[in-house]
Amino acid sequence: MNYFNYYTEIEDTFIRRRGKHLFLSPLDWAMIDGWKERGIPLHIVLRSIEAVFDVFDRQPPGTRTIKSLFYCREEIEIQHREWLNSQTGKGADAENTASGGDFTVERIAKHIDDCSEKLRNCTVERLSEGIQRALTHLSEIKANLTDDLDTVDKTLGDVEKLLDRTLLENWEPNHLAGLEASIKTQLKPYKSEMEPEKYRQTYELMLMKQLRDEAGIPRLGLYFL
């Protein structure tokens, strides 16, 4: 399942159970990004959302309002840990075979081509040097593609880190400071309920997503294929 479907399935389930149309917040987006990057299966996320709303629906009206996916995160973590424990002993080979079938060399090559095209379309002059370096790396990766998915994903991840550094180091300083302040404001209502490391990760995910969206920089990892 690609990233777009992962996101839309989660969004559709949350909105359906919420009972009214609303847009997911940047915090919700960041959490979905985090779940996807960690490889939390879609069915775990959807089942957890359903479970949270099942409990909520049994409470007296007006007791609590679920306004964000943030209120589902604890149940998702619990069910994910239980799922991981249930997979122990099932055999890594079988798991790798099941997960690797979607990632053919041809599909990965097309993914690299699509990402390269999006990078070429970026018109932010400050980013041009870093983008050119990334394009060179992507060309080399495509020219030497193998079916070693772990290595391919790691090398794509290295290029993505290069692009992340390019964004952070070359973005207009005042605008970057404004984005950072805005994200801190959005996270403020949730900060007391988050562990410091989770807060830091969520903050960084939200900031990088905002920067990528503004610049038109694609995600490169195989999870986003």
State the DSSP string of 175-188.
Answer: HHHHHHHHHHHHHH
How does residue 90 score in pLDDT terms, banded at 50, 70 and 90?
low
Distance CA 105, CA 66 (A): 43
Given a cut of 70, whether residue 136 has pLDDT beyond it is yes
Query: Tell me, what's the pLDDT at 195?
Result: 85
Q: Please give the residue range of the domain that contains residue 109.
A: 103-224
Same domain, 167 and 126: yes
Average pLDDT, the chain: 85
Residue 78 resides in a domain: yes
| Boundary of a domain, candidates 54, 88, 122 | 88
Asked if residues 216 and 121 have their Cβ atoms less than 8 Å apart, the reply is yes
Residue 173 resides in a domain: yes
| Nearest to 143, CA basis, from 113, 100, 104 | 113
Residue 57 resides in a domain: yes
Query: Tell me, what's the pLDDT at 63?
Result: 64
When pLDDT is averaged across residues 60-66 and rounded to a whole number, the result is 71
Same domain, 46 and 114: no
Among the listed ranges 67-71, 106-110, 112-116, 178-182, which one has the minimum average pLDDT value? 67-71
Same domain, 118 and 182: yes
Q: Select the more confidently predicted residue: 61 or 25.
A: 25
Distance CA 12, CA 30 (A): 17
DSSP state of 142: H
Same domain, 206 and 112: yes
Query: Tell me, what's the pLDDT at 1?
Result: 45
| Boundary of a domain, candidates 55, 88, 121 | 88
How does residue 104 score in pLDDT terms, banded at 50, 70 and 90?
confident
Distance CA 206, CA 212 (A): 10
Report CA Rg, the chain: 19
Distance, C-alpha 1 to centroid of its chain: 14
Residue 158 resides in a domain: yes
Q: What is the pLDDT of residues 195-206, one digit of tens each?
A: 888 888 889 989
Same domain, 211 and 107: yes
Same domain, 212 and 107: yes
Given a cut of 50, whether residue 99 has pLDDT beyond it is no
How does residue 39 score in pLDDT terms, banded at 50, 70 and 90?
confident
Among the listed ranges 34-38, 45-49, 85-89, 209-213, which one has the minimum average pLDDT value? 85-89
Residue 23 resides in a domain: yes
Q: How much of the chain, in percent, has pLDDT values that exceed 90?
A: 44
Q: Which two tokens stand for residue 144?
A: 């030497």
Same domain, 76 and 176: no
| Boundary of a domain, candidates 88, 117, 146 | 88
How many Cα atoms sit within 13 Å of 126 on the Cβ side?
11
Same domain, 77 and 39: yes
Residue 28 resides in a domain: yes
Residue 163 resides in a domain: yes
Residue 93 resides in a domain: no
Distance CA 180, CA 206 (A): 9
* pTM for the model: 0.68
Same domain, 107 and 218: yes
Domains contained in the chain, number: 2
Same domain, 107 and 82: no
Distance CA 198, CA 158 (A): 22
